[in-house]
Amino acid sequence: MPTSTTSLDPRSGFSRRDFLRGSGAVATAAALQAQSAAAAEQTQGVAILAGEQTIELSVNGKTVAVKAEPRTTLLDVLRYQLDLTGAKPICNDGSSGGATILVDGKPMQANLMLALQAVGKKIETVESLAGDAVPKAFVACDAQQCGFCTPGFVVATRAFLNMKPNATEEEIRQGLNGNLCRCGTYANIVHAALMVVKGGNNG
């Protein structure tokens, strides 16, 4: 279709040269390269890691050394090696938001990220938000029952309100759909998020 309108020649304005950039160092790959130079098998200069590695992660402002196989998820490292059990293993498919953490400030699910991918990234878990306005508002609004989903919701709410500090109630109801709760605390989570917005101590 709109080829005629937009005169799209798939190759117009577009050259192969555009795509041959960037062998500059980037976080994970470079850090892994440096950290595991000894262990790494190299295929044409690409680090290929197999078996257990010792890697350094930045978690809640501290650099920590942990052990990880390639298959080890970031969630397993947090829970089993660092005893940061706020992020919960609730789903296998990202539908629950139970394992939500902040990666370079963005909400992501630690069960869907391999630990090796987290090297060079700033990881923040719910435990780092203890003094934040969001968990305080959750307590004030009783936005928890059994509480198992609560840490994931707290992190998601923090991340959402960072993006939309003046969110309306409708936006809150749209913005927090990535998390599941079984006890049904949603009504009070809406109240808690609104309290943070109105409290002005957001972001």
Interface of this chain with another protein, residues 147 to 166, rule: CB under 8 A: 147-151, 154, 156, 159-160, 163
- Smallest gap from Cβ 3 to another protein, in A, equals 6
Question: Judged by CB under 8 A, does residue 32 bind another protein?
Answer: yes
Smallest gap, in angstroms, from Cβ of residue 127 to another protein?
A: 5
Q: Nearest approach, Cβ of 200 to another protein (angstroms)?
A: 20
Distance CA 79, CA 14 (A): 46
Q: Are 119 and 57 in contact (CB under 8 A)?
A: yes
CA 94/CA 109 separation, integer angstroms: 7
Using the minimum distance from each CB to another protein, give the nearer residue, 137 or 198.
137
Residue type, 58: S
Q: Which amino acid is at 191?
A: H
- 37: contact with another protein by CB under 8 A: no
The correct pick among 181, 195, 196, 197 for binding another protein (CB under 8 A) is 181
CB 176 within 8 A of CB 160: yes
Residue 12 binds to another protein (criterion: CB under 8 A): yes
Q: How far apart are CA 43 and CA 49, in angstroms?
A: 11
Please list the alpha-helical segments (H only) found in 68-175: 74-76, 133-140, 150-163, 169-175
Spatial contact of 156 and 135, defined as CB atoms under 8 Å apart: no
Nearer to another protein, 30 or 64 (CB): 30
Q: Which of 37, 65, 139, 200 binds another protein (CB under 8 A)?
A: 139
CA–CA distance, 140 with 36 (Å, rounded to integer):
47
Q: Which is nearer to another protein, 34 or 65 (CB)?
A: 34
Interface pick for another protein out of 59, 167, 175, 196 (rule CB under 8 A): 175
Site for another protein in 46-105 (CB under 8 A): 46-51, 69-73, 76, 79-80, 83-98, 100, 103
